[in-house]
Amino acid sequence: MTIIEVKQLTKVFGHDAGRAIPLLEQGMSKEKIAQELKLTVGVNKAEFSIEEGEIFVIMGLSGSGKSTLVRLLNRLIEPTGGQVLFKGKDVVKMNPEELRQFRRKNIGMVFQKFALFPHRTVLENAEYGLEVQGVDKKKRTERAMEALHLVGLKGWENHRPDQLSGGMQQRVGLARGLANDPDILLMDEAFSALDPLIRKDMQQELLELQSRVKKTIVFITHDLDEALRIGDRIALMKDGVIVQIGTPEEILIQPANKYVERFVEDVDLSKVLTAAHVMRQPETVRPERGPRVALQLMRDSGIFSLYVVDKANKLLGVITAEDAAQALKDNKSILEVTRREIPRVYPETLLNDFFELISETHLPVAVVDEADKLKGIVIKGAVLSALAGNAVPEGEGS
């Protein structure tokens, strides 16, 4: 379900900014508008929608309009034109009371430099949003503690912000945003001030948190690696314009233009793409169908092996054409000739982590979930092709 829909959203800074709107509509550039009208275009006709429960990343270089865009979503900045629909209701048209409720209940924000109250403890800082909402002491302590644990600040509840490192102070800001339990969490460069290692931990924690609570997160970053790691989809901005919106894979493999191409050219794809990105539909057979059917299936699709799965799609192993032919001759069942020792990876395994596996084996690598259910297969060619920056080809193969 769509939770936020943005239409023609525009922000121009400066005196009588509305003057720029017709010119932007004619396609005049940010640079030209700055020269001729002395106005600064922050966001230029942004259009996108965000689905409930997704992590939507807004990425771009400094000055590209990320902060302006995210502040337009909760109207910390008044738009010059366009709409922001929250579950269909236009935030731009909300009266002050509706807007206050919206900010309190539906949308929370974590800033890069979160101003903590120096005289309050970490716990009291994390409780702040709930306190404003009038949540009772016991409940808000409980939720704030939970949020603090989540960001790795267990044991620091009674310290004051100045006793914490910069990175830890940032975590308090995050805990405050989480304790509030909003539908949508806006995070503007929330991790940018953290050390690389802590930052990676936080990204991981955020992903885990999100998979548990299914919160919608709008995450701003200027860091491509971070965007690729955590984004379900990424909007890439340049000069106030969204130049591409897509999954990390789409952005990497099908950059919309030269700008995006240059942006992503140094990425080590093997550390970003996963088995899920390059896997394809496997050809399967259930054991009770027998070797004759298995052989026929392989002939029909021009392949030399089949994955043997049970009724629940649990992977039992693989059977080759030779195995099937032999079984037929010896009057054996599929299960008797199934090879059970076959290479397996999880959908989220990075290509980088199964390079060796795939180069050592003749068979495709099976992609399974924790319950050993077959999700797909990865063939060597698809991996090499993806790493060369090509779209993953469709089609069968083994």
Task: State which residue, 9 or 153, has the beta carbon closest to Mg ion.
Answer: 9
First to last CA, the chain: 37
Q: Using CB distances below 5 to 8 A depending on partner kind, what does residue 63 bind out of Mg ion, ligand ADP, none?
A: ligand ADP
Q: 334: exposed, middle or buried (C-beta count within 10 Å: 0-12, 13-18, 19+)? A: buried
Q: How many residues bind ligand ADP (CB under 6 A)?
A: 11
215 binds, among ligand ADP, Mg ion, none (CB under 5 to 8 A by kind): none
Q: Which residue has the tokens 């929608």?
A: 49
Whichever of 65 and 79 has its CB closer to ligand ADP, that residue is: 65
| Of 67 and 125, CB closest to Mg ion | 67
Residue 40 sits in the site that holds ligand ADP (CB under 6 A): yes
State yes or no: residue 63 binds ligand ADP (CB under 6 A): yes
Which CB sits closer to Mg ion, 235 or 345?
235
Alpha carbon distance 99, 80 (integer Å): 17
Asked if residue 95 binds ligand ADP (CB under 6 A), the reply is: no
The yes or no reply on residue 38 touching ligand ADP (CB under 6 A) is: no
Interface with ligand ADP (CB under 6 A), residue from 9, 10, 42, 187:
42
Please give the residue whose beta carbon sits closest to Mg ion in the complex.
67
Residue 198 CB, nearest distance to ligand ADP (Å)?
22
List the beta bridge partners of residue 5.
49, 85
**Closest by CA position to 243, among listed 13, 28, 46, 79:** 46
Beta bridge partners of 12: 41
Question: Containing H/E element for 5?
Answer: strand 2-13
Distances (CA, A) of 10 to 7, 19, 63, 246: 9, 12, 15, 21
Binding ligand ADP (rule: CB under 6 A), the pick from 10, 44, 68, 180 is 68
Where do contacts with Mg ion occur on this chain (CB under 5 A)?
A: 67
Shortest Cβ 67–ligand ADP spacing (Å): 3
Question: How far, rounded to the nearest angstrom, does the alpha carbon of residue 307 sit from its chain's CA centroid?
Answer: 31
Q: Which stretch binds ligand ADP (CB under 6 A): 56-64, 142-150, 269-277, 355-363?
A: 56-64
> According to CB under 6 A, which residues from 13 to 32 bind ligand ADP?
13
Cβ proximity to ligand ADP: between 221 and 305 the closer is 221
Q: Which does 65 bind (CB under 5 to 8 A by kind): Mg ion, ligand ADP, none?
A: ligand ADP
| Minimum CB–partner distance for residue 15 and ligand ADP (Å) | 11
Interface segment toward ligand ADP; rule CB under 6 A; list 57-65, 200-208, 296-304, 352-360 = 57-65
Q: For residues 78 and 268, which CB has a smaller minimum distance to ligand ADP in the complex?
A: 78
Burial class (CB in 10 A: 0-12, 13-18, 19+), 208: exposed
Kindly state the smallest distance separating residue 40's Cβ from ligand ADP, in Å: 4
Cα–Cα distance, 89 to 78 (Å, whole number): 16
Residue 68 interface partner, choices ligand ADP, Mg ion, none, CB cut-off 5-8 Å depending on type? ligand ADP
CB 327 within 8 A of CB 310: no
Length of the chain: 398
Which whole-number Å values give the CA distances from 321 to 20, 23, 160, 299, 337, in the listed order? 68, 66, 69, 9, 11
Which among Mg ion, ligand ADP, none contacts residue 375 (Cβ within 5 to 8 A by kind)? Answer: none
- In sequence order, what are the residues at sequence separation of 6 or more whose Cβ sits closer than 8 angstroms to the Cβ of residue 6? 46, 47, 48, 49, 73, 82, 83, 84, 85
Residue 63 C-beta: closest distance to ligand ADP, Å? 4
Query: DSSP letters of 326-353?
Result: HHHHHT--HHHH-B----EE-TT-BGGG
Collapsed DSSP state (helix, strand, coil) of residue 14: coil
Q: Which does 82 bind (CB under 5 to 8 A by kind): Mg ion, ligand ADP, none?
A: none
In the complex, which residues of this chain contact ligand ADP (CB under 6 A)?
Answer: 13, 40, 42, 60, 62-68
